[in-house]
Chains A and B, each alone.
Chain A
Amino acid sequence: MTATPPTSSPAPSPAAPEFDAALWKAVNTAFDEALETDELSRPAFLARLAQGDPRVANEVRRLLGRAHAQTLVTNVVRHPLAGLTTHLAPVLGDGAEKGFDGLLQRALRAERSRAKNKRHSGELCGAWRLEEIIGVGGMGEVWLATRADGLYQAKAAVKFLKSDVDSERFEARFAQERSLLARLNHPGIARLIDAGRLFGQPFLVLEYVEGSPLLNYVAEHAKTVDARVAIIREIGEAVAYAHSQLVVHRDLKPSNVLVTASGHAKLLDFGVAGLLEKTEHDETTSSEVTKIAGRGLTVEYAAPELITGEASGVASDIYSIAALAYHLLAGHRAHTPEKPGRAALEHAVLHVVPPRVSEAASARPPQNTKDNIPPPADAVRLEGDIDAIIARALRVDPADRYRSMEAFVSDLRRWAERRPIAARREDRSYRTKLWLRRNWLPVGLTGTLIVALATGLGVSVWQYERAKNEAARANDTADYVVSILGRADPDLHGGNWPTALELLDDAAKESSTRFQDQPATEERLARLFASVYRSLSRDTDALPLAQRAVALSTQVHGADALATQQTRSLLAWTQYWSDDYAGALGTMQPVMERLPKLVPAGSPELIEAQLRYGNILAGVYRISEAETLFREVIAQLKNDTRANSNNAWRIADAEGDLAAAMTRGGRWPEALDLLRKNARAYENPPASDIKSALEHQSNLITVQNVLGDPTDVERQILFLIERWRKLAGDKNERIDELLNDLGFYYVQAGNQLAAEKTYKTLLSRIAARPNPAASSRLRVELDLVDVTSRFSAQSSVLVLSDVRRLGDEVIARVEPSHPRFRQLLSRAAIIALTQGDAVLAGRYASVAQARGTDKSAANDLRMLYVLTDLARISGDHAQSLRMVEGIRRSYEKSGEKVSLRRARCELDVAYALLLSGAAASNEPRIEAALAATRNALPQNLPTGHRIFKQLEYVAAWARFGRDSSQWVEARSRLALEMGRTVETFPEVLVGAFAR
């Protein structure tokens, strides 16, 4: 519908005269005769008839006209004329519903499945228990449900979709859209929590909103134009937010908006229309409305292009919100055709320009609609600006409307702030254009008129320019986002429907060059793409975009603007996940100063920033500050008594972050307890937080792995990798972390080949990144060398040359303030020690100590191990003993009683005591250390684990003495385990208990 000329509403036909059987009898006979008469003699026949009974003649003439019209239309349908068919097709119901036949089929099928799909209270829908029906919508029943697994208390609305929705396709589509929909996290949008199928019937689990229907609320509580515009703005802002997240609503209408007790609007069913849409090519004949209406959705607020089946997008939402705004401001709908029925309504939407809102509000309300509300008390204020805003948004041609929801909202904001609006000027030129089109003759006169209009505007040029720029910027972004969505063309993507991710990759690549000279637009796009990549854990891709966004935002909005804080927070978070903790801290600190002045305490924005800051603090090992911050947030969440907020989950989420901070402080057992406590919550997260939940689950497995408890680790890691892959694609970097954990697990389990394979996979993944960080690669390479060293798979010389190469590269390429610096150097030192090169180990240890500035507790521990073994290799057993006892004290302090590391440490104490001589006098201490070793061993360790052979060797020495036959036997078994022979077994074991 690009060039539909505006026409007036069809003239009402004269009231049909009352037929009765007697009149019909007369008409019938005459009608029969008339049908027999040929076209030529018909006028004479009718004239004769009129002389006899004018009434009968009149009826016959009309019926003949009808019969003739039917024939004509029939011919048009049979021989479609170009242009006419597009008008006819939607009305004829081609495609989705083929007339009576199609309806009958649907009715009978619905009948059959209704019997199958009767829901009962108490029934379980995934983790939700149905309580009571709270509504029957066009799409199906809506139930109030409560969380059934007792993880936390929550209410939700479970919406069943009509059973004739193809549930498999729905599910596939939902899987595709899930991450996009779940990202809709806005106070004005009811969240999508989950979805699934019950006996084949698809359902959605949505945030349960307590509130009044929009129209009721407005009629009772929002009686002025200001109050109503404020609500429309709120709705518009929520929709604009969704558009920025690449989601369109497509079924905006008053019944999809609830107003909460606090007076805030909440939009329901976001993106649901899109989920239900069919995508097959063979459905192209049926218009959007047929598709949507076929799903029980309404057409009252649908944009014309939805009716004609043309492409729809953000512009359709703009039309719908304007239709909704019209209703609120005029007191009734924009289109109220005289005749009932959808045909009349569609005709009106396509061809009738509704009266201006101010006129509609002051005129007598139409009698043929049921949902009229009183117009605002001060309706006179609608005149002018509001008229222009609504009219522009309601234009039939999408190209004539506002180009983005933000532009629409900002015009309403300017109106509320008594500033000039963008639509007004545009509206005048539009109307002038229309006028010109209609009255093209007096051209000279119109020229004068335009000048008069322009000077009459009385707006300062500066203000006008500003308004224009802002509108243009919103337009560019919206257009671009729309064009991205518009590229969903199989022909451009190897014959397959592209996923949103593929479209995003294409768009992100070209956005910076395309908007080079428009910093505001580039900034918005950079922020959008960065946040999407961040949420997919593709931080290498996100980082440059986030950096660009911060630079541009500071330039465009200023350093103190809210937008800049949000962009900085995003950058900081991306830096955090790229292991650049110091950078993240520097980025985030100004946000923590400014944000509390911009948003209220306890607001979701502030809490999110606080949690991020807490994590970043922990990243730079300011653990106690981080812990204080986390505990504050948790306390705040616990005190938050707002009904239905998802606080239980948010607390579990914050505690997960706290646990991560604890591990950085070396408090592993505490962290394990906290994570285990919330394990079930992490298994059942709300749809919007699946990623955080997976983070926590991954952390749990890492902690368990570090503590040496092998139970289920391998299976769990593989499962989590698969989850991440499905959720965020194969490129996401959390998979790398999990592979690292898996490699470590295989090393611990003595599975050399699996460990090597895992680390090699990881190495190739890292190498495939566009700009891999040196420290990530070096860590994996050191892991690989460590594996060969532990199992003596290479000659000492080769291992040592590898270690030297890698250690030197660490010194050259890793930032000394980065925790990886000390971590990697101490690892290199330990490997050098096990290969007997004390000089190299000593060099790395002293460089790490002298230059490394991080505060990682884990690195402190690693350094202690290195120093212990350095003392041991130099023969200073007394010093070595003192140091290993120091390590033991740190475990005692942190409460780590059961772990492989603790067991090794105890064994190391026993070994150090034996090495320091005077075995007899130390016997009780040695025995105690051996007992402590056994107590510290985690359950479920495989019997073949290396630690048992080490324990056997040390114990044989303690009990039976060196050179006893037991000692010799234990020594040869341990040598075999380490890939050595009795001959090559080192005199003094170093580095053996360090990892």
Chain B
Amino acid sequence: MPAVTPELFHLAAGGDADAMGTLYAELYPEIKRVARARLAQAGGVTGLNATALVHEGFMRMAEREGLMGDTRVQFFAYVGKVLRSIVIDFVRARDAEKRGGGATLLTLSHADSAPDSWLPAVDVVALDQALERLKLIDEGMYQTSELHFFCGMTIEETAEARSISTRTVNREITKARALLAEWLDVANARI
């Protein structure tokens, strides 16, 4: 990570638009590269938990770079965001042919921390928009969602990273799901 410094994270976290832009531009290809490499190491076994696997790669990276505290949380939040972008770009490119309604469904579930981390199937792109909305009204809950759903962190890791209790994390995840379900209108009656 050449130009990525803890300062950059602080600036970005403080709302510096330039810093955010730089950070994103620097991290995107790097994260992709690390993620691909990590996946390749695993031999592309289907059914493995890709997110958690990729996450491990970044744990090491964060340790190596000496990222601590808030910076560490920011870093993982970005990793989650980039992984999400990778998926969304992929899905968009793939659905390019479709007109209007066609979309790929996604379920957010991690086998290792099931049953509670579960969200009904939703449209990936719509989910992305809903998450942005979540970020606007509650940054902390957003970070929790990002770390847990998209970065592959367990409840415990998420709690540790955000320096909050696992109980709070659980609560935030419950609320985030309720909010997302409300916005995306994915009641069980629909499925």
Contact = CB atoms under 8 A, between A and B. Distances in A.
Interface of A: 10, 13, 16, 19-21, 24, 28, 31-32, 35, 62-67, 69-70, 72-78, 87-88, 91-93, 97-112, 136-138, 255, 293, 296, 298-300, 336-337, 339-345, 347, 368-371
A342 B100 contact: no
B99 A369 contact: yes
15 contacts: A24-B137, A67-B177, A69-B181, A78-B115, A93-B106, A98-B47, A100-B87, A100-B149, A104-B54, A299-B102, A300-B98, A340-B103, A342-B105, A368-B100, A370-B100
A63 B178 contact: yes
Given A13-B185, A70-B120, A371-B100, A63 B175 contact: yes
B21 interface: no
B44 A109 contact: yes
State the 6 A-B residue pairs at the shortest beta-carbon distance, nearest first: A107-B90, A341-B123, A138-B97, A66-B178, A67-B178, A73-B188
Contacts of A67: 174-175, 177-178
B123 A138 contact: no
A341 B103 contact: yes
A343 B123 CA distance: 8
Given A16-B182, A24-B137, A66-B178, A106 B108 contact: no
Interface stretch (B5-13, B31-39, B66-74, B158-166): B31-39
Contacts of B189: 10, 69
Nearest to A136: B96
A91 B189 CA distance: 13
B98 A107 contact: no
B104 interface: yes
Contact of B87 (A70, A91, A107, A337): A107
A370 B95 contact: no
A735 B174 CA distance: 71
Nearest to B94: A296
Contacts of B94: 138, 296
Contact of A347 (B89, B122, B190): B190
B99 A343 contact: no
Contacts of B149: 100
Contacts of A77: 118
A138 B96 contact: yes
Contacts of A298: 97-98, 102
A541 to B, nearest CB: 43
A341 B32 CA distance: 27
Select the residue from A63, A69, A371 with max chain B CB neighbours within 10 A. Answer: A69
A107 B105 contact: no
Contact of A21 (B103, B116, B137): B137
Interface in B32-83: 32, 35-36, 39-40, 44, 46-51, 54, 83
Given A67-B178, A88-B191, A107-B87, A342 B103 contact: yes
A10 B49 CA distance: 35
Given A63-B182, A88-B191, A299-B102, 12 more contacts: A16-B182, A19-B137, A21-B136, A21-B137, A24-B138, A98-B47, A99-B109, A107-B87, A341-B123, A343-B190, A368-B100, A369-B99
A110 B137 contact: no
Q: Which of B49, B103, B107 neighbours the largest number of chain A CB atoms within 10 Å of its CB? A: B107
B89 to A, nearest CB: 7
Contacts of B109: 99
A70 B178 contact: yes
B39 A369 contact: no
Contacts of A369: 99-101
B36 A111 contact: yes
A777 B36 CA distance: 66
Contacts of A13: 185
A343 B54 contact: no
B4 interface: no
B96 to A, nearest CB: 7
Contacts of B46: 102, 105
B25 interface: no
A31 B175 contact: yes
B122 to A, nearest CB: 7
B51 A100 contact: yes
A82 B187 CA distance: 20
Interface string B107-144: 11110001110111111101000000100111000000
